[in-house]
């Protein structure tokens, strides 16, 4: 079983829809949770960062963490064609004395105008 | 504005060739990383470095080596390229701190390597 599971999609939605992207994980040592966005032929860039269980909002984006269920989500409200990209979840384990980052395989999202 | 640059966007090499991929960051980051990204497999860590002249194996180091002679530069070396090393290679860097937003990794644009 992979430490981080993420559905690769592709996920296709109409413009204006609410998008839900999810990851599950098995390693209880993960303490920090991130979402990266990767446009085609570019490197990933950090979108959202959370530490504790609960919700964190940034504009149209909401990151949600449920540590008891080992489940994280990214919600995109009023999705736009410019949101079309691959979204990677990432989780950090610092228990070994250095940061070890594990990425999900990414979900490809297409927002249709 | 953090910048991570990679020496080539596209590279075509022949089986058995020695290949050098260069990465430079301009934010004085302690940590540097090399990943490869393949469809269905996602980002996989090859090697990382937490200091000059220091290197640690990641999850898939076989067939690769690295060099970090200067803080800003991290090189990935394919000693004898093989067709299964055809991939997108991404370099990243981050600050040393273990907590807080400085855990963010800043990625370069990637090098798409094809080995024939």
Is pLDDT at B100 greater than 50 in this prediction?
no
Mean pLDDT across chain B:
91
Select the residue of A44, A49, A103 nearest B101 (Cβ to Cβ).
A49
Query: Which residues of chain A fall below pLDDT 70?
Result: 97-98
A to B CB pairs, distance under 8 Å: 51
Shortest distance between the Cα of B79 and any Cα of chain A, in A, equals 25
The pLDDT value recorded for residue A95 is 76
Of B104 and A97, the structure prediction assigns the larger pLDDT to B104
Residue from A33, A43, A51 to probe the interface with B (highest B Cβ count within 10 Å): A43
pLDDT at A94 (0 to 100): 76
pLDDT at B98: 53
Nearest chain A alpha carbon to B4: A43
* Angstroms from B111 CA to nearest CA on chain A: 9
Q: How many CB atoms lie within 10 A of CB A78?
A: 12
pLDDT reading at B99 higher than 70: no
User: What spatial distance separates the first Cα and last Cα of chain A, rounded to whole Å?
Assistant: 37
Residues A35 and A63: beta-carbon distance below 8 Å = yes
Nearest CA-CA partner of B90 in B101, B76, B72: B76
């Amino acid at each position: 079983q992979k430490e981080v599971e993420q559905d690769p999609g592709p996920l296709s939605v109409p413009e204006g829809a609410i998008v839900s992207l999810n990851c599950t994980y098995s390693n209880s040592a993960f303490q920090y949770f991130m979402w990266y966005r990767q446009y085609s032929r570019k490197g990933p860039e950090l979108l959202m960062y959370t530490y504790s269980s609960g919700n964190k909002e940034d504009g149209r984006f909401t990151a949600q963490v449920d540590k008891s269920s080992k489940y994280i989500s990214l919600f995109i409200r009023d999705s736009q064609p410019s949101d079309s990209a691959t979204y990677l979840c990432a989780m950090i384990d610092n228990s070994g004395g250095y940061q070890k980052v594990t990425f999900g395989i990414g979900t490809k999202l297409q927002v249709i105008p | 504005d953090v910048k991570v640059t990679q020496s080539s966007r596209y590279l075509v090499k022949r089986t058995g060739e020695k290949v050098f991929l260069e990465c430079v960051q301009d934010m004085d980051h302690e940590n540097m990383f090399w990943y490869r990204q393949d469809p269905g497999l996602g980002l996989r860590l090859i090697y990382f470095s937490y200091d000059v002249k220091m290197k640690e194996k990641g999850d898939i180091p076989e067939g690769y080596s690295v060099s970090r002679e200067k803080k800003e530069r991290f090189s990935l070396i394919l000693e004898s390229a093989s067709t299964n090393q055809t991939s997108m290679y991404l370099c990243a860097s981050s600050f040393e701190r273990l907590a807080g937003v400085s855990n963010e990794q800043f990625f370069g644009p990637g090098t798409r390597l094809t080995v024939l």
